[in-house]
């Protein structure tokens, strides 16, 4: 009798798990490891004066995640509609403001997607433009707020 186990990154069909890890380098610089075969690590850092700006900071990565997810969702929908996309540029601008306690918060992310399509296909994009945002799990999570569970486990050096 063979038992089939669910891979750890997929808990159930409804719940999919993933992980990333950070290794401290120096200052405020970390190396992000996505745990994917063949994918290089990414240096992350805070901008000056706190860090050295050796890589993107968390706010930029949040904007990147939202922008990339939206681009993927739009591209998927357009392809399903048999609309050829010959290219796409995406820009994301983040807005940070201080809250009532004086702490910086990401308060807005403005994303512009520019898919290159044939002129005749522009009217055919209407359905996708009405639904693609609903299929981006990152944007939906950011818009609605997500649960963040935090654990601190000190390691004595």
pLDDT tens figures, 26-71:
999 999 999 999 999 999 999 999 999 999 999 999 999 999 999 9
3-state class (DSSP) for residue 8: coil
The pLDDT of residue 150 is: 80
Task: Give me the residues paired with residue 120 across strands.
Answer: none
Q: Where are the domains of the chain?
A: 1-56, 57-144
111 neighbors 124 (Cβ within 8 angstroms)? no
The pLDDT of residue 139 is: 94
Query: Burial letters for 103-124: b for 16+ Cβ neighbours within 10 Å, e otherwise?
Result: eeebeebebebebebeeeeeee
Annotation: CATH topology of 57-144 = GMP Synthetase; Chain A, domain 3 (3.30.300)
pTM of the model: 0.85
The pLDDT of residue 146 is: 76
Tokens for 145, please give them. Answer: 């707020």
> What does the pLDDT average to over 117-141?
94
Q: Each residue of 80-126: pLDDT tens digit?
A: 999 999 999 999 999 999 999 999 999 999 999 999 999 999 999 99
């Amino acid at each position: 009798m063979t038992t089939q186990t669910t891979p750890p990154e997929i808990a159930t069909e409804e719940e999919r798990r993933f992980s990333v890890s950070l290794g401290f380098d120096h200052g405020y610089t970390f190396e992000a490891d996505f745990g994917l075969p063949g994918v290089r690590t990414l240096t992350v850092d805070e901008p000056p004066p706190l860090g050295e700006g050796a890589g993107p900071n968390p706010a930029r990565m949040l904007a990147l995640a939202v922008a990339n997810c939206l681009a993927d969702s739009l591209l998927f929908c357009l392809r399903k509609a048999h609309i050829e996309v010959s290219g796409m540029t995406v820009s994301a601008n983040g807005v940070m403001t201080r809250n009532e306690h004086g702490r910086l918060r990401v308060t807005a992310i403005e994303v512009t997607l520019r898919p290159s399509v044939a002129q005749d296909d522009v009217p055919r994009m209407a359905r996708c433009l009405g639904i693609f945002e609903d299929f981006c799990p990152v944007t939906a999570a950011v818009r609605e707020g997500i649960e963040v569970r935090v654990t601190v486990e000190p390691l004595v050096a």
